Structure 1
Amino acid sequence: MIMKLIQDGMGTHLDWSHEMVTPKMIDWFWSNMEKGFILWHPEEHEHLEWAKAPVNGNPIGSIHIAPQTWDDGIRQNLYIRFEDLYTLPAEVKDYIVYEHVVVVAGIGLGDEALKNPVVMGYRIHQWQKTDFGVVGKSSAIGMAKKETKEEGLIWAKHCEEEIGNWGVFLPSLYNLYKVVDNPITNPFADLSIIEPGRNARYKYIETNK
């Protein structure tokens, strides 16, 4: 896997690529995170739970509880919501450049987030097919509080491990679950989009617009 780190006025960004990983595998991962969350970062992740699971193959609005402890030693019980691209600020959508994308928002650190969600920041993960596998980019963008460069580097180290581990476990995990035909226990959502940038919207997922 190849990685490149960039920081700008909006946040921290990682360019990455994988061999032997397909866009469909990554699409599948986002609706089935509980199956691979520990594998995604074994040292820093705890068990993931859905506060609001994807419904009928549509992950928009789903919320997962993702307890984790990053390299700074601070444990966070993150509540993370899968966002509708239509609702995103224009300056966030400007970073969407690839054919598949998920944007999630950190909305709080406890059950209060379910009643009064506050978008602390966005995480954009995006990818597309190449001749060898996939190429992608992951971004951390602070909203309620802009993240410092130092905070961005802590996130980048965590994210680099997550993205890198896709190459280790995701193809095998995806193939194992092919035997499960029940969409309730093995959901799938195609996360490809119509076009990048400010007009980005999903091809196959029903949204608010």
Structure 2
Amino acid sequence: MTMKVTQDSMGTHLDWKHEGVTPAMIDWFWSNMEKCFLLWHPSQHEPLVWAVPPKHGNPIGSVHIAPQTWNDGTRQNLYIRFEDLATVSVEVKDYIVYEHCVVVAGLGFGEESMKKGEPMGYRIHQWQKTDYGVVGKSSAIGMKKKETPEEGIIWSQHCAEEVGNWGVFLPQMYNLFKVVTNTNYNPYADLTVEGKGKELKYKYIK
């Protein structure tokens, strides 16, 4: 896997590539994070729970609680919501150039945060198929809570280890759970997008 970090006025961005990982595997991951969260970052993550679980075929509006401790020793326990692209600003959607994506919003640190309006910030993960696997990009964009370049670098280090671990466990987990055909326990949503900028929307989620 290869990675490259860049920063601009909106935030911090991590370009990455994987061999042996497919877009469908990453699509599956976002509806089944509770199965994989400790594997995603074994040294910094704690078990994930859903405050609002995803629905089969449509994870929009789902909220997960993601306790973790970053390299600087800061413990995060954020409520994180899977966003409807129609509600995301154009300046954020303009960063999405690949065929699959998820935009999640950091809401805050308690249950009451699910009732708030503007998110603290967004995390964008996007990816698409290549001859060898996938190419993708992850971005940290502060909104109500702007992030310093130094904070962005700390996030990029954490994110690089997360995304890097997809290559370690995701193909195996995806294939193992094919035997679970009950979508209450093994949901899936195709996260293909179509359109650009203002017109960006999910192709298969209505």
Runs of 4+ off more than 4 Å: none
Matched, 1:163 2:198: no
> What does residue 9 of structure 1 align with?
9
Identity of counterpart residues, as a percentage? 71
Task: After superposition, give the CA deviation of every residue in 1:42-79 in whole Å (9 maximum; x if it has no partner).
Answer: 01100000000012321000000000110111111110
Matched, 1:87 2:81: no
Per the normalisation by structure 2, the TM-score is 0.98
Task: After superposition, give the CA deviation of every residue in 1:166-188 in whole Å (9 maximum; x if it has no partner).
Answer: 00000000000000000110000
What's the offset of the Cα at 1:148?
Answer: 0.4
Per the normalisation by structure 1, the TM-score is 0.96
CA distance in 1, matches of 2:178, 2:55: 19
Say whether the 8 Å CA contact 2:56–2:189 is kept in structure 1: no
CA distance in 1, matches of 2:19, 2:61: 31
Q: How many residues align?
A: 206
CA distance in 2, matches of 1:161, 1:198: 31
CA distance in 2, matches of 1:156, 1:149: 10
What's the offset of the Cα at 1:194?
Answer: 1.2
What's the offset of the Cα at 1:150?
Answer: 0.1
Say whether the 8 Å CA contact 1:22–1:129 is kept in structure 2: yes
Superposed CA RMSD in Å reads 0.9
Matched, 1:126 2:126: yes
> What does residue 65 of structure 1 align with?
65
Which blocks of at least 5 consecutive residues in structure 2 are unaligned? none
The alpha-carbon distance between structure 1 residues 115 and 197, as it changes in their structure 2 partners (threshold 3 A), is: closer
CA distance in 2, matches of 1:115, 1:96: 27
> What does residue 195 of structure 2 align with?
195
